[in-house]
Amino acid sequence: MEFVQLSDAQRQSFNEDGFLVVRNALDPEKVQRVTEASDRLAGPFLTKPEVRGRPEYNHLDLRPGLLREEALLELVTHSTVSLVVQLMTPNIHLHSTALIYKRPETPDAPAFRRGWHRDIRIPRDLGHQSLPLVGIKICYCLTDFTESNCGMTLMARTSHLKNEPLAIPRDEVDPPDVEVCDVRLNAGDALLFENRIFHTAAPNRSNRVSKVLIYGYAYRWMRTEVYLEVPDQELLKKTDDPIAHQLLGGYRDVDTQPWALQEWAKRHGVQPAPVPWTIEI
C-alpha cells in the first residue's frame, strides 16, 4: 500500500471537525475505471424506469458484492487507507462497503430519508456519553458535488464530540446548534468521517445521477457487516498482498497481531506507541 503522510493540519482538522476532505485521492484515470465498474454493478438501477414522486425508488444503496469488481477490490488498499491507519492504528480491517447512486429529484420534492445518525450503532448500547472512535469511512466521489443539495451526505461539524442526541426543533429537519456542512467535492476527492459524527442522507436536486463509493474500516475486534463476515477465500486468493489479506479478514483471531499493517507502519515511522498493561511505580 502506498504511503501518504498524514499532516498535522489534517489530523487537527479531523479531530476537531469529525471529518476530513482529501483532494484528488483518485486520479482521473482511476475515477473512470472505478466508475465503469460501479456502473456495471448499478446497471439494473440505471436502466430501470424512473418512478415519479417516489424518491425511494430512485436511490441505490448496494452493499454486498462490490469487491467482485477488480477495480473496486483494488480500492481496499488504496493509499488513502494509509491516512486511516495513522488516525486509528494498524489493527484495522474492512468493516463495510457501499455503492450509493441517487437520481435527480424535482426541486420541490421532500427530502428523502433525512435521518441524522451515528454509525455502527454503538450508542444504542453505550449511550452518547464518552463514545470511542472505532471506525472511519472513506467516501470516494465519482461525480462532482459542487452545489448544495446535489446528493452528498451532510455532516454536522464537531458533533462527534457531543455527549447527547441531536436536538432538532419540531417541524424542522436540521439541528440549529451545530454547523451543517454540505461539503463541496469534485470527482476523485475523498471524504473521511468517523463513526461518532452525526450525518444524514440528503436529496439530489441536480441534473445528474450522484455517485459515491464508501469503504468503512474499523478495529479488528469490531464485527464486520454480515456480507463481509466470513473471509471470502476467492478474494483472498486473488491477492498475494499481506495488507489486503489483513483488511479482507484474513486474520480470524483478533488476538493475532496485525502483522501486515504493523510492519508497514514501522517501515514508514507511524507505528503508535505501545500501550502497556501495567507500569512500574
Give the pTM. 0.95
Name the pLDDT band for 112 (thresholds 50, 70, 90).
low
Name the pLDDT band for 110 (thresholds 50, 70, 90).
low
Per-residue pLDDT for 230 more than 90?
no
Per-residue pLDDT for 225 more than 90?
yes
| 77 half-sphere exposure, CB direction, 13 A CA radius | 18
How far apart are alpha carbons 146 and 144 in whole angstroms?
6
Give the mean pLDDT of 9-24.
Answer: 98
pLDDT per residue as tens digits for the range 268-280: 999 999 999 999 9
Give the other-Cβ count within 10 Å of 177's Cβ. 10
Q: What is the C-alpha end-to-end distance of the chain, expressed in Å? A: 41
Give the pLDDT of residue 239. Answer: 85
Query: How much of the chain exceeds pLDDT 70, in percent?
Result: 99
pLDDT per residue as tens digits for the range 122-167: 999 999 998 999 999 999 999 999 999 999 999 999 999 999 999 9
Give the mean pLDDT of 105-117.
Answer: 77
Q: Are 10 and 82 in contact (CB under 8 A)?
A: no
User: At a CB cut-off of 8 Å and minimum separation 6, what does 65 contact?
Assistant: 41, 227
Give the pLDDT of residue 106. Answer: 79
Name the pLDDT band for 232 (thresholds 50, 70, 90).
confident
Give the mean pLDDT of 247-253.
Answer: 91
Kindly list the domain boundaries of the chain, sorted by start residue. 8-267
CATH 2.60.120.620 fits 8-267, yes or no: yes
User: At a CB cut-off of 8 Å and minimum separation 6, what does 259 contact?
Assistant: 242, 246, 251
